[in-house]
Amino acid sequence: MNGYKSPGWDLFGSPVCKTGGWKRRTLGAGLGESLSSPHQCMTHGQRDCGLETFLKTHELSLLEMSMRYRNLGKSGLRVSCLGLGTWVTFGSQISDEVAENLMTVAYEHGVNLFDTAEVYAAGRAERTLGKILKKKEWRRSSYVVTTKIYWGGQAETERGLSRKHIIEGLRGSLERLQLDYVDIVFANRMDPNSPMEEIVRAMTFVINQGMAMYWGTSRWSAMEIMEAYSVARQFNLIPPVCEQAEYHLFQREKVETQLPELYHKIGVGSMTWSPLACGLITGKYTDTVPEKSRASFKGYHWLKEKAISQEGKKQHSKVKELHPIADRLNCTVTQLAIAWCLRSEGVSSVLLGVSNIEQLLENLGAIQVLPHLTPQLVTEIDQILGNKPNLKKDSRA
């Protein structure tokens, strides 16, 4: 990999021991999930010898890198339980070279899900993702690309969920991605100006035309998703299979109280984003806002204000209380927070937003924490957070 250097973390995010040794861990499969090594995801010619040398040097086996896969909702599509998102990073915060390194390492660790949107960096995120995929020449059947449609341009006809913009917007995305199709096209919010039947018919059309395999929703209410499903059934159209929703330690209500019911009733799964609350859970904003952090960027004043607000300080305090639990599990709070998201019923995949290899490797280490999140530990975390929604929920630990 060009520019890839061994970081100060092992392949599962554990800091290098001061003596120079590396912590070894093993993976155990959860119920209803499969394990696969990166070698099962690519041909021999596509494997990078630099990574294999890195593994050999630190006595880490390829089996220890195993990724878990889950069905997307109740569809037959198998996605890695951790996906790579491109919001803020691709085409903006990081260089194309860094983006390529991140995608390469992610793919070689079994990540098969890459998420973007027409609005990210005004289309540059899709272009960057497309250039990398074309350069890597990975088998198109071996990975999943998702994009989101709503904000495409300045003109009235270049945004929203009209039939015109869904079709034209997706065509534009495919051109930037240099792909014949995306696996999932998401409606990036509900459009009050477009009738539900028009939206569902347009999504059905792009699927029937081979421009997408599935469609989903993002930031829709449970009622809106149910309406889309009902319209699809009424007119023999294709219903959504997935909702993209924000989900982390301090944002729980929708994913834990509303979406599980949709999962059981109509098979809609959850693909969640912002597992670290835009970095708040990592502790980077505890004392100040670091330069080049997301909260320091233009247009992210809301994040800066949230970090230094009274509510933000309360959240920082609760994160600190989670450190003893993370220490007992021999993981970081970051890994604990991501694993906590994965344990929720109906969550098919958690999207990661990273800007360097160290962050990516640490985040991937959350996979190993999941089997150790016992009901007792989850209860202990709930007691610290004090925000558990009032409902019955199942655990996937």
> For position 13, what pLDDT does the model report?
39
**79 in the Ramachandran plot: left (φ > 0), alpha (ψ -120 to 50) or beta?**
beta
- Least reliable range by pLDDT among 37-51, 65-79, 144-158, 160-174: 37-51
* Average pLDDT for 15-30: 34
Question: For a pLDDT cut of 90, what percent of the chain falls above it?
Answer: 70
pLDDT of residue 294: 52
CA distances from 53 to 169, 236, 350 (A): 43, 53, 29
Q: How far is CA 335 from the centre of its chain?
A: 14
Report pLDDT for 224.
98
Q: What is the pLDDT of residue 81?
A: 98
Instruction: Give the pLDDT band of residue 15 (cuts 50, 70, 90).
Output: very low
269-273 vs 182-187, strand pairing mode: unpaired
> Confidence band (pLDDT; 50, 70, 90) for 390?
confident
Residue 159 pairs with which residues in a beta bridge? 151
In this predicted model, what pLDDT tens digit does every residue of 338-372 receive, in sequence order? Answer: 999 999 988 999 999 999 999 999 999 999 999 99
Q: What integer pLDDT is reported at residue 311 of this predicted model?
A: 82
Mean pLDDT of the 241-253 span? 97
Please report the DSSP string for 85-127 in residue order.
Answer: E-TTIIIIIS-HHHHHHHHHHHHHTT--EEE--TTGGGGHHHH
Please choose, from the candidates 177, 168, 189, 167, the residue with its C-alpha nearest in 3D space to the C-alpha of residue 124: 177
Structural domain spans, the chain: 34-281+346-368
309-337 average pLDDT score: 93
Mean per-residue pLDDT, 149-165: 96
Better-predicted residue by pLDDT, 8 or 241: 241
Indicate the pLDDT class of residue 290, thresholds 50, 70 and 90: low
Model pLDDT, residue 309: 75
CA distance 387 to 250: 7
**So which residues are the catalytic ones?**
120
- Could you tell me the CA-to-CA distances from 162 to 152, 189, 337 in Å, in that order? 12, 12, 37
pLDDT at residue 38, as a whole number = 40
Pairing state between β 269-273 and 144-149:
unpaired
Which bin fits 236, alpha (ψ -120 to 50), beta or left (φ > 0)?
A: left
Checking if the pLDDT of 197 tops 70, the result is: yes
Strand partners, 85: 115
* Contact criterion met (CB below 8 Å) for 207 and 182: no
Query: What is this structure's pTM?
Result: 0.81
Q: Which helix (H) or strand (E) holds 35?
A: strand 34-36
**pLDDT reading at 67 higher than 70:** yes
DSSP annotation of 14 reads P
195 pLDDT exceeds 70?
A: yes
The predicted structure's pLDDT at residue 190: 98
Whether residue 61 is predicted with pLDDT greater than 90 in this model: the reply is no
pLDDT reading at 148 higher than 90: yes
Q: What is the mean pLDDT of residues 193-217?
A: 99
- For all residues of the chain together, what is the average pLDDT? 84
Q: Which residue has the tokens 């007992």?
A: 328
Percent with pLDDT over 70 in the chain: 76
282 pLDDT more than 60: yes
> Which of 276, 270, 249, 250 lies closest to 258 in space, CA to CA?
270
The secondary structure of the chain in percent helix, strand, coil, rounded to multiples of 5, reads: 45, 15, 40
Say which CATH superfamily domain 34-281+346-368 falls into.
Answer: NADP-dependent oxidoreductase domain (3.20.20.100)
